[in-house]
Amino acid sequence: MAVATPPDLASAQHPIQPLARTYPRGLVIEPHLHDWGQLLYAESGVMWVDTPRAALLVPPHRAVWIPPQLHHGIRVVSDLEMRNIYLREELAIRIGSELSVVEVSPLLRELIRRRVSLGPETDESYRDALEGLLVIELRRARSASLQVPMPANGDRRLRSLCENVLRTPSLDLSFEQHAQAIGASTRTLARLFNVELGLGFTEWRRQVQLAYASARLLDGAAVSAVADELGFNLGSFSEMFRRSVGVAPSVYATHHLQRSSQTV
């Protein structure tokens, strides 16, 4: 397990603090919180961001806004180049008090990159102008949720099963195998799913699989590779994705990347 190492926010004088990190596939950052708001942007790679009530999948061209004082952990799905922007509370409240995934326009992407790359010798007037535009653009960003509900304060066994599925969403592991791994009966877990999440295991896992597939496709993975990772044959996966999302997986990434490149 790894522990997040943000800049020394407690002693920071400036209200915006950038941070760049590279994380390998499979790394887990334990749940923690900050007094500051945090923008997490995947320059490349995919990550799950776990919170008490939801898990959000963040692929390239997306970012997640985490308001101050919200517990969150990170699971790295594929090798990750992460860019962080921390905003002191008085700035964070201008962005919003709700957890959200947002589309990263070409302008917002370049603003994040430029702010992270600035050195301490940078002219203050240039830095302040850059940060002002970054905040404005972030406030205008469109939401693009790849969100899966999580049990908030209920049975720990249900939470453990859900976390296991986030790690391994493939059909190769059955409900019975997941239940056995945490020492609970399928009958008990089925009841907990309906009571705490309002849907059954199969439907909930399908949401995880769709979020995972969408993120991997945006990360440049081949449709056949994503189908294999999730335990589907290619035809079944394509039909499931098309029925749920409305377009075939072969055109999904192209459509969204074109829209992202046209958004300024």
The whole-number average pLDDT for the span 203-209 is 94
> How many Å from the N-terminal Cα to the C-terminal Cα in the chain?
38
Over the stretch 69-128, which tens digit does the pLDDT of each residue have?
999 999 898 899 999 999 999 999 999 998 888 888 899 999 999 999 998 778 999 999
Q: Which residue reads 């020394």 in tokens?
A: 8
Query: Torsion over CA of 212, 216, 221 and 226, rounded to 10 degrees?
Result: 0
146 and 64 in contact (C-beta within 8 Å)?
A: no
- How do residues 18-66 score in pLDDT, each as one tens digit? 999 999 988 999 889 999 999 999 888 889 999 988 898 888 778 999 9
Delineate the domains of the chain, giving CATH numbers in brackets: 9-140 (2.60.120.280), 155-262 (1.10.10.60)
Instruction: Give the pLDDT score at 39.
Output: 95
Please write the tens of the pLDDT for every residue from 140-152: 988 876 788 998 8
